[in-house]
Homo-oligomer: A and B are copies of this chain.
């Protein structure tokens, strides 16, 4: 099913919102002393937007450490995410979790692991449940190029392939794992080439082209939903900022490289397409900018005006069934 103009505009709005959200956090990180260390996804927004736009509400997403867009598109409000960054009671797990690993049971988001790659088997297990429950729900999991070197990637994809589970594995290949360049750890051209080792389709797409991502993932989702098993979709993109806001990202790569990639901005790319094809006007673009900027303003206001959790709450909910003194 080709995307409609409305879809394109909607995706554009998500891209813009993600960009604004991330930029705002970067601006405020030190200025306001936001406790969560931001791992900005700026430059990579098209992956999460393209992959999650068009999912069913009952599909389940497991994010990577840099998948802000997925959280937004899956419906976790900017307010809640921002509050999570501030460690507020209105945030993730009432302050227990960071925004970039948060889960949401109702919205179908699995809390991510801080251990890179550790969430891939979990997401495959989500798909296993869907299969056992005889539903046609789909599990979508995001991870980085670095994560594709972890044993869990291998074990999880193999498991998914053997049981033909409804899972779409989306690799956000941003060319770096922290300070290490992909050539230091990937001895082949594409992460997607590893799919052949599990007999599943491995697709490479321009990760800065939200439509390309969307189409590839939707195709994979359709396969999964039809019972035809898992896929690996690799989205080639780039991390504009450092690994985190504590990393200027400058010791291990050339500024020129960053500049080159900035020319391939996923937000601009879609904007140009929309404008040149006459789908939206420059004015509409500005309206969207203004709108999302306000949304982010409100998110910051919400976060800042939210209360911190009661410290004593730290002692609760390590267990779902507290017995014998466990809480």
A181 → B minimal CB distance (Å):
12
A162 and B185 contact, CB distance less than 8 A: yes
Of A152, A186, A197, A198, the most chain B CB neighbours within 10 A belong to: A197
- A155 to B188 CA separation, bound complex (whole angstroms): 14
Is A184 an interface residue when CB atoms closer than 8 A count as contact? yes
Give the chain B neighbours of A149 by CB distance below 8 A: 154-155, 158
Q: Contact check: which of B150, B152, B184, B196 meets A197 at CB < 8 Å?
A: B196
A contacts with B, residue count (CB < 8 A): 22
Interface residues in A152-179 (C-beta closer than 8 Å to B): 152-155, 158, 161-162
**A131: Cβ under 8 A from any B Cβ:** no
Interface residue ranges of A38-89 to B (CB < 8 Å) = none
**Residue of B with least CB distance to A156:** B151
For residue A228, CB closer than 8 A to chain B, the reply is: no
Contact A187 B198 (CB under 8 A): yes
Copies in the complex: 2
Query: Is B197 within 8 A of A188, CB to CB?
Result: yes
A197 CA to B151 CA, complexed, in Å: 13
- Tell me which residues from 176 to 202 in chain A have a Cβ below 8 Å from any Cβ of chain B: 184-188, 193-194, 196-200
- Of the candidates B151, B184, B187, the one whose C-beta lies within 8 Å of that of A199 is B187
- A162:B187 contact, CB within 8 angstroms: yes
A14 to chain B, nearest CB (A): 33
28 pairs from A and B in contact (CB 8 Å cutoff): A149-B154, A149-B155, A150-B151, A150-B154, A150-B155, A151-B151, A151-B152, A151-B154, A151-B155, A154-B154, A158-B185, A158-B187, A161-B187, A162-B184, A162-B186, A162-B187, A187-B198, A187-B199, A187-B200, A188-B196, A188-B197, A188-B198, A193-B196, A193-B197, A194-B197, A196-B196, A196-B197, A197-B197
> Residues on A close to B: CB < 8 A?
149-155, 158, 161-162, 184-188, 193-194, 196-200
Top 3 A-B pairs, shortest CB-CB distance? A151-B151, A154-B154, A161-B187
